[in-house]
Amino acid sequence: MRRFQLYIDGVFEDGESGFESLDPAIGEAWAMMPEAREAEVDRAVEAARRALTDGPWARMTATQRGQLLHKLADLVAENAKTLAELETRDTGKIIRETSSQIAYVANYYRYYAGLADKIEGSFLPIDKPDMDVWLRREPVGVVAAVVPWNSQLFLSAVKVGPALAAGCTLVLKASEDGPAPLLEFARLVHEAGFPPGVVNVITGFGAACGAALTRHPRVDHIAFTGGPESARHVVRNSAENLASTSLELGGKSPFIVFADADPDSAVNAQVAGIFAATGQSCVAGSRLIVERSIKDEFIERLKLKAEAIRVGSPLDMATEVGPLATRRQQDHVDALVSASVAAGAKLVTGGIRPEGPGNYYPPTILDCDGVASPSLVQEFFGPVLSVVSFETEAEALRLANDTRFGLASGVFTRNLARAHRMSRSLHAGIVWLNTYRAVSPIAPFGGYGLSGHGREGGMAAVMDYTRTKTVWLNTSDAPFPDPFVMR
């Protein structure tokens, strides 16, 4: 059984205890993971604090930080195959997706490497004579970066990249479900030559690790990706250290199809939007809102596509949908489908939990027209699509915005004016028009409402990891006036 280690202050070490990680495809243990508890968390944070204020990282120029990030990007690209295989083995995400995604993750590190020495302050045209005033942008401090089990290397890159570019130091907590790729990533950080304590990588459970990290008095900023319930705990914990937060919390994203849309393009994008990554994506287009005149035909096209999807071993390059990451997640998806059918939703295809080993669940479509289905409001994080229809653009918009989430949305129409109107009125941080799931290191993403706040990607992410310092300079040679003499 393979054994992984924590990475604290530039040293690889075993945790106080360990736990088995299960292969989602077969339900059997394949690796032993180290468990960080409060003592390890404290040492990791203190190492990050020392690296921030003392030692080589504190003295590096922004250009030198960028050079280290460039080296890390090269190492990620060179080791993409190994990282992809580990992520697939530990989380069940199919190898064809992890391979392409991790190769692209290197571009995020290259982007932030280039930005490192382009974080600028500003000079203020102050309203006082004999005063020069300027703003410096400085690192926010020690960052607690907490990522979930889905797309760990991507979701860590959009935190680690901008934080390091800004000059911060980090404690990166991998999810206890499938931490292998990030624990391996620590080896690349080490090989790239980052000074000890700049990046620390740990994993562990609940209060012993996650809560201990997010409430630690020496943490300045918390970057969290996960669900709203966990985020509430994070925000409560941040009250202990008054750390700033950036939260990316998933969603219940609408996918709107008008009758004038290109049907093949819309169907393919919807399949990619909900069944890619086995639906375990924070931007999954899980609510199809389709114009009533084309609903039946569109659902039939989707049904044929869904039933043709190849479900199988995530390590097989021919597989299109693999297992869910955990048995817990499989139970959740199955229970929510059952509750939705009981509430009146019609099962178009799928919805039957397979027998046998592994956490598999088939691509599923629920027709929820006219039904108060739980599937329309709760996030599945699985390969389940809920369908409703509309008559007018106003109704489509009302249905789309009828959610407390607001991360992503998609609109398919050939009407350019309508596309612009929808993009203005949708309550979501991302609006994809005639496309879906497109990402780039240049473009920020983030949500409204229960989908969180702050932005990841682009220059906007760097701003989350800096704070401004205002510097006043008196340019007059005259002595400072007596404060008790009124003039």
What are 65-76's pLDDT values in tens digits?
A: 999 999 999 999
Cα–Cα distance measured from residue 201 to residue 171, given in angstroms and rounded to the nearest whole number: 6
Burial group, residue 20, by CB count within 10 angstroms (0-12, 13-18, 19+) = exposed
What integer pLDDT is reported at residue 487 of this predicted model? 67
What are 26-68's pLDDT values in tens digits?
A: 999 999 999 999 999 999 999 999 999 998 999 999 999 999 9
Task: Compute the average pLDDT of residues 324-328.
Answer: 95
What integer pLDDT is reported at residue 339 of this predicted model? 97
Q: Which two tokens stand for residue 330?
A: 């499989």
What are 254-281's pLDDT values in tens digits?
A: 999 999 999 999 999 999 999 999 999 9
Task: Compute the average pLDDT of residues 382-395.
Answer: 98
CB 241 within 8 A of CB 213: no
CB 38 within 8 A of CB 208: yes
Q: Catalytic positions, please?
A: 248
What are 335-352's pLDDT values in tens digits?
A: 999 999 999 999 999 999
SS3 content of the chain, % helix, strand, coil (to 5): 40, 20, 35
Task: Compute the average pLDDT of residues 187-200.
Answer: 98
How many CA atoms lie within 13 Å of 263's alpha carbon, on the beta-carbon side?
13
Task: Give the chain's mean pLDDT.
Answer: 96
**What domains, with CATH codes, occur in the chain?**
2-249+447-471 (3.40.605.10), 254-433 (3.40.309.10)
